[in-house]
Amino acid sequence: MKLGFALGLVGLVKSACLSTGNQDTVNQLLQQGGADTVVSLCPGATVSITDSIVFTAPGQEVSTQGYPTDNTRASIIILPGSAVSAAIRGNWQDHVKVLNIQIDGNRPNAGLYTGPGADALLELGGGTTGQTVSHVVAKNTRSWSCMHFIGSGQDDNPCRNANITFNTIGPCGDEGHDADGNALWADGMSIECVTSTVTDNTITGPTDGGIVIFGAPGSHFLRNTITSSSTALGFGAINMVDPSYDGNYSNVVVADNIITGVAPGLFNLGIGIGSQVWSNPHAEPNFGPATVTNNVFRGAIGFSIVVNGWAGGLTATGNDVSGVHAPSADTADASRCGAQQQASFDASQQLIVYAPGVAGPSNIQSEFVRIPNNGSNWLCLTHPLPTQQSYAPQTLFVTAQQSTVVDLRGFHVQFQGDGNLVGYDTTGGVWTPRWATSTSSAACGEDGASCLLAWGGDGNFVLYDADGPFYDSGTSGRGVELTFFNVAPWVTVTDAGGEVIWSIE
């Protein structure tokens, strides 16, 4: 049913479309129209919202009139100052459709949203069948994903038969944390629906997973193009690591996808397969039979495919890593990784399997390197790290709660909750202390927040606790540069003439 809302005369107004409005305009049409209502936005229209657009009955659709695929697609944008991150919600409504529109979470202007209901930019799924998102642009989520199809939690009524095709997704999220410690990263798509079709999507600049497959037995992920941010780290391009459906990935197919890391951005992992691969390893293996074939990997990717913690069958053939940049050390750093991960990284290995961690039949292409040790958590890479790092006065303040002072190649400096400042050599995945201030404090607070390392405006390098300074370089009024090194001397303060006036050797 097309809705002739301009005159309220259904059928008479053939080409009515909504040329402006907000969530209330759209929600009224959906509520009044009932099942199968199509809200048709005019080409070029912008709908600015401060709350979610919500599908209220089966078969409803929001789309641009004429179904254009270019930038005349109507836009839905979240306004700054609003307490919402989900632009569209369509949970538990069969056959709803979001077609040929652009959805902008507006994170650069509206900011990260961590309040109540901090959900993905598009929230679909639940106990439903046949939902479609196609030819949609979705970017700048304020929350953890640009598109989430959630499961239902009901064995006999799973989210199923979703159709997610020809969408243009990203950027989604940013790298790292904000000043309050909130994670800034976000998925491109997070998919928990079974027997679904996720094909021909273009996902650019995801910072968590590009396509996160939450089990989703029977779903096919084909011909998607997943490209990293050109500046930021993305954790993974396609994830088969989460234990949804108790780890059931039966008849999941991941084929013909193109995964590209664009330096100085990168993907830490191309495709992660199994329960031991992500940063939250879990004991029970994920299981297939699953198929991961003919995917192409290019550019700045730390590890293209890692398999560990799998059972029930895996076919991984025809995957092409010939276009991945080598050596890996040009585009990433493994100083924060475990021993096996560092060894694989140093050898620029791209197709990696821990064979004892794979049970059941498998057909794995011969290029896979059989690693000798049980490497868990491959999500450990960073951008390439320097061998030394310098700071002008007033530019370095770190609490013992924040802990990390600086990461250097093969080296980590941390300010600990016991008031000690320690430099660790991380070579080989074993943290060996090389130097320390050997200070201690009982006044750092429960979480370390009361201890502060400060390289202040006066050029003095000081450690404070709740009671005041307890260590300093004695360079007030003279220090102009503080430098940390990954070889001795480990720390120096230099004066205006470049002379070292204080150091830790």
Ligand X SMILES: *[C@@H]1O[C@H](CO)[C@@H](O)[C@H](O)[C@H]1NC(C)=O
Footprint on this chain of ligand X (rule: CB under 6 A): 99, 132, 134, 163, 165, 194, 197, 217-218, 248, 250, 276, 281, 283, 356-357, 374, 376
d(CA 43, CA 266): 36
How near is the Cβ of 405 to ligand X at its closest, in Å? 29
Q: In angstroms, what CA-CA distances link 47 with 1, 119, 195, 300, 439?
A: 21, 20, 33, 38, 58
**Single-letter residue type at 503:** S
- Other C-beta atoms closer than 10 Å to the C-beta of 360 total 13
Burial class for 67, CB neighbours closer than 10 Å (0-12, 13-18, 19+):
middle
Min separation Cβ 488 and ligand X, Å: 35
In the complex with ligand X, the residue whose CB is nearer, 65 or 276, is 276
Is 248 or 350 the residue whose CB approaches ligand X more closely? 248
CB of 110 to ligand X, least distance (A): 29
Q: Are strands 258-261 and 225-227 parallel, antiparallel or unpaired?
A: parallel
CB of residue 354 to ligand X, shortest distance in Å: 7
> In angstroms, rounded to a whole number, what is the distance separating the alpha carbons of residues 445 and 447?
6
Question: Which tokens go with 196?
Answer: 């679904």
CA gap 474, 74 in Å, rounded: 62
The length of the chain in residues reads 505
Q: How far is the CB of 398 from ligand X (least distance, A)?
A: 31
| Cα separation, 503 vs 492, whole angstroms | 4
Residue 181 Cβ vs ligand X, minimum distance, rounded to whole Å: 27
Is the peptide bond between 58 and the residue preceding it cis, with omega within 30 degrees of 0? Answer: no
Smallest gap from Cβ 406 to ligand X, in A, equals 30
Q: Per the structure block, which two tokens stand in for 119? A: 């959900």
Q: Which is nearer to ligand X, 102 or 106 (CB)?
A: 102
Residues 132, 72, 144, 290, CA torsion sign:
positive
Contact 82, 61 (CB under 8 A): no
Burial of residue 320 (CB within 10 Å: 0-12, 13-18, 19+) is: middle
In the complex, least distance from residue 346 CB atom to ligand X, rounded to whole angstroms: 21
Pairing assessment for the beta strands 168-169 and 173-177 based on DSSP bridges = unpaired
Q: How far is the CB of 27 from ligand X (least distance, A)?
A: 22
Nearest approach, Cβ of residue 164 and ligand X (Å): 8
In angstroms, rounded to a whole number, what is the distance separating the alpha carbons of residues 257 and 293?
9
Rounded Cα gap, residues 25 and 47, in angstroms: 9
Residue with tokens 């993905």: 120
- List the end-to-end C-alpha distance of the chain, in Å, as a whole number: 77
